[in-house]
Structure 1
Amino acid sequence: MQKRGDAKRQKVCHLVCSAEGATWMFEQLRDLRDLYGHEVVAVVSAAEGKLIDKLRSENIRYHVTHFATGAALPRSILRLPFSVLKLARFFRREQFDVVQSHVFATAITARPAAWIADVPVRLAMIASPFHLQARLSRTLEQATWFMETMVIPSCEWARNLCKQIGIPRSRIAPIIYYGPDEKNFDPLRVAPAGVRREFHWPEDTPLICNVAYFYHRMPKSDWMPPEVHGRGHKGHEDLVRAAPQVLRAFPHAKFLLVGSGWGPLGETYLNEVKALVHELGLERSVIFTGYRSDANRILRESNVAIQAALNENLGGTIEALLMECPMVATRVGGMVDAIRDGETGVLVNPSDSDDLARGIIELLRDPERARKLGRAGRELMNSRFTLRHTVEDLANLYEELAQARQPRQYYNIFVSIRRLLAGFPLFVYVVIKTLVMKLEARAKPVRNHLNSQPLAATEVHESGSN
């Protein structure tokens, strides 16, 4: 295994179409620089935001560009070539050894830009299986994956989906999880938040915690997996509907919904969930805490943590298990990598409030078994799912691909011109294909043409962590 400092110093660029979230990208860049000596640069979508503050705090250089997201809109599709060319020019000027995009909406712009610029190593880290299960984005992935040196799946289900759409095994990297910084999730170092004391609850009050943003309801669109149409994909409504059954068994239990609305539409959805709580008469038992910077400390003292998503990567499973918090999660996406039913937690069926209540009650009724599952979960997370493993795996992959480069001069202007000319008809094809698929969608109901992950009762499945 590569030792820190042994690898050749490389110039690495990571991209994400955000300036707010994506703490994982910041942490990866910081540790790639500090532990492996790489020169690192971030490309982001705006000059201000929480992500920008973190980059500045560590003196990580960043560049702001326009990402042509929202590709369902004609103006976004038409603006895409200009965004790509502008970014390709930046890559050529900087002469990066490695360019790595996060999130499919980023790759729409970054992938062709790095390919045209003739970047030596081009990588797309798949932050969630979400886009691989939606009809339009899946088609775009099939049409453009060849521009990458490799794609990096971040869970087993994403890797299987890459194979299903025809990406050769030789172009699929080993799984690299989006691991959080384990220093922030050590139950021996992190003190409990004192939530019971804060809300004046008895010390034996059962606490059931869900840490997740409230995203907007997903529209019925071929850009969205069918199982999330008309739903908030984090499953907040299912958790609220499971609460009455849990409260019949544990009348004094409290449900902590930790997280804020993501943007104005997220706030609208948050208010809809609050209205559901009111409708069910659960105001005294279901508590909306809003954003909490001490979410790790809340997990530290919770009896059960919940991730009830309909479509997800790892969600908040890694963080909860690192805190040895007993975990109930839905059988979707990458959460089954972390939650091994009966070994590191309890798996339940998605969109099934009865089964979710069953899982919660099961852990509350057997605290000794719950604690055992939590300890086993932390052991598993430390073995592969932490930031240390993520950064080490990325550094090893960069070194391996650097050694396997073709013996030629990269950033070759003639290669760029040839690819630019070849890319034009591909762009036209993608535009026509997208418009045709949109017309087909209006003529018939949306169907899922991709086999979903097998589940015990149903078959359903964004996003990386919150």
Structure 2
Amino acid sequence: MSGRPIRALFIVPLLKAGGAERHLTTVLPRLDPARFTPSVVCIGAEGELFDELRAAGIAAKALYLRKRQAVRALRELMAIIRHESPDVVVVSGYNAETLGRLAARLAGVRHTIMWVHNASEITPRSVVHRTVDRALIRWTSGYFGVAQVQRRFLVDERRYPADKVRIIHNGVDPELFDVTTDREVLADCGIGVDGPVVGILGSLRPEKDHETFLRAARLVLDELPEAKFLIVGDGACRSALVTLCGELRIASSVHFAGARGDVGRMLRAMDVFAMTSTTECLPMALLEAMACGRPAVCTAVGGVVEVIEDGATGYLVPPKDPARLAARLIGLLSDPDTAHRMGREGRRRVETEFRLDHSVAAAQLAIEELVTAEYARTGGVNA
């Protein structure tokens, strides 16, 4: 490497306001510039978080290409790779996993890393996708995950070599999150500031199962009619969820805030954070909520169980069980002392176990080990 920083090119579908994308936009600006020179290519549009990278001084560009333009995307990615001559290409996201690794291989980059943010097949992979994925195993240097639960998925289900899998927990910077409660944002959203608030943060997609959240809200309101429910995020399921609110007669107690850039501010307006996903990896939203000192009630899926200490920092409940979720929410909303204690313990857990600087340090070391080992073996020559 001749003592220069490692040139790392990250290829993603787009930088929308999702957990995997927030992970990228928090980690890259923290990479040590003496050790890494990162850059990013979005195959599709820029996305809501794109400007954050640019503002942090990370070179980023978007190709604005769609799925049916895969051949063109492959050609353009190859051209970018040949021009930038990265030491490693890191891919994340459905189409980036295939096109990014293919482009890296065809452009002569030996080292590629696939950073996986799911613990199950949320979208069924086509035969072509699976076939290409299997063929690329030989040319993929490492598979990074963010939760220990992914080992079974990556090794047993996807059949990636166990010695190529590394788990690097997500992390957040607790110093960026305030533990005080601030209801001012509720007034900005047109919500009354009185009454307890339960919030959920995530894209409105089927696997996030906001339907269970709303059905639990109906049960909570039967006991605590002054409660309010804040849904932060947007997506394809919004219309159906609005309709369900009407059917459950809870529309006046539920507010859809849409996608927001002020996540910390929204979290500070909540008394309790909830997550109802049927599948998760290690959700950034949960870490951010805990960093804000919010007690969490979440479904016991994926890496969520690696974060929440049941009964200490929050509660774990079964997926698709509105009654159990509602019971835990009512318990915390009715017992502010317990809620505050759990919130404090959650903040402490983030500070000790899930700090962003720990995550960045682990990522830097893992990438360096893969790249420098390869360069030592080949004498610095890509093939």
What is the TM-score when the length of structure 2 is the normalising length?
0.87
Q: How far is 1:177 from its partner?
A: 2.6
- Which residue number corresponds to residue 335 of structure 1? 304
What CA RMSD, in Å, does the superposition of the two structures yield over aligned residues? 2.7
- Which residue number corresponds to residue 252 of structure 1? 226
- Which residue number corresponds to residue 237 of structure 1? 211
1:350 aligns with 2:319: yes
- Assess if the C-alpha contact under 8 Å between 1:8 and 1:399 holds in 2: no
What SS is found at the alignment partner of 1:110? helix
Q: What code does the residue aligned with 1:352 have?
A: D
Q: Would the alpha carbon gap of residues 196 and 96 (structure 1) be closer, same or farther in structure 2, given more than 3 Å must change?
A: closer
- Which residue number corresponds to residue 12 of structure 2? 16
Separation in 2 of the partners of 1:341 and 1:321?
A: 13
Q: How far is 1:143 from its partner?
A: 4.5
1:306 aligns with 2:274: yes
- Assess if the C-alpha contact under 8 Å between 2:45 and 2:63 holds in 1: no
Q: What code does the residue aligned with 2:106 have?
A: I
- Assess if the C-alpha contact under 8 Å between 1:104 and 1:131 holds in 2: no
- Which residue number corresponds to residue 200 of structure 2? 210
Q: Would the alpha carbon gap of residues 407 and 48 (structure 1) be closer, same or farther in structure 2, given more than 3 Å must change?
A: closer
Separation in 2 of the partners of 1:376 and 1:139?
A: 46
- Percent sequence identity over aligned pairs: 29
What SS is found at the alignment partner of 1:151? strand
2:168 to 176, 183, 189: 176
- Which residue number corresponds to residue 54 of structure 2? 56
- Which residue number corresponds to residue 144 of structure 1? 136
- Which residue number corresponds to residue 280 of structure 1? 248
Q: What code does the residue aligned with 1:42 have?
A: V
What SS is found at the alignment partner of 2:331? helix
- Which residue number corresponds to residue 118 of structure 2? 128
1:296 aligns with 2:295: no
Separation in 1 of the partners of 2:83 and 2:381?
A: 9
Q: What code does the residue aligned with 1:309 have?
A: S
Separation in 2 of the partners of 1:211 and 1:159?
A: 26
- Assess if the C-alpha contact under 8 Å between 1:84 and 1:110 holds in 2: yes
- Point out the more displaced range, 286-295 or 335-344: 286-295
Q: How far is 1:194 from its partner?
A: 2.1
Separation in 2 of the partners of 1:138 and 1:358?
A: 42
1:91 aligns with 2:73: no
Q: How far is 1:19 from its partner?
A: 4.3
Q: How far is 1:119 from its partner?
A: 2.2
Q: How far is 1:85 from its partner?
A: 4.6
**Cα offsets for 1:48-103 (capped at 9, x unmatched):** 5433322332332224347774xxxxxx4xx6455435423432332212211122
- Assess if the C-alpha contact under 8 Å between 2:14 and 2:45 holds in 1: no
- Which residue number corresponds to residue 28 of structure 1? 27
Flag structure 1 segments of 5+ consecutive residues without an equivalent.
1-6, 70-75, 216-231, 416-466
Separation in 2 of the partners of 1:287 and 1:113?
A: 44
- Point out the more displaced range, 84-93 or 397-406: 84-93
Q: How far is 1:252 from its partner?
A: 1.1
- Which residue number corresponds to residue 426 of structure 1? none
Q: How far is 1:13 from its partner?
A: 1.2
**Cα offsets for 1:214-261 (capped at 9, x unmatched):** 23xxxxxxxxxxxxxxxx221111111111211122121111112233
- Which residue number corresponds to residue 377 of structure 1? 346
Q: How far is 1:46 from its partner?
A: 4.6
What SS is found at the alignment partner of 2:57? coil
Q: Would the alpha carbon gap of residues 181 and 396 (structure 1) be closer, same or farther in structure 2, given more than 3 Å must change?
A: same
Q: Would the alpha carbon gap of residues 170 and 291 (structure 1) be closer, same or farther in structure 2, given more than 3 Å must change?
A: closer
Flag structure 2 segments of 5+ consecutive residues without an equivalent.
none
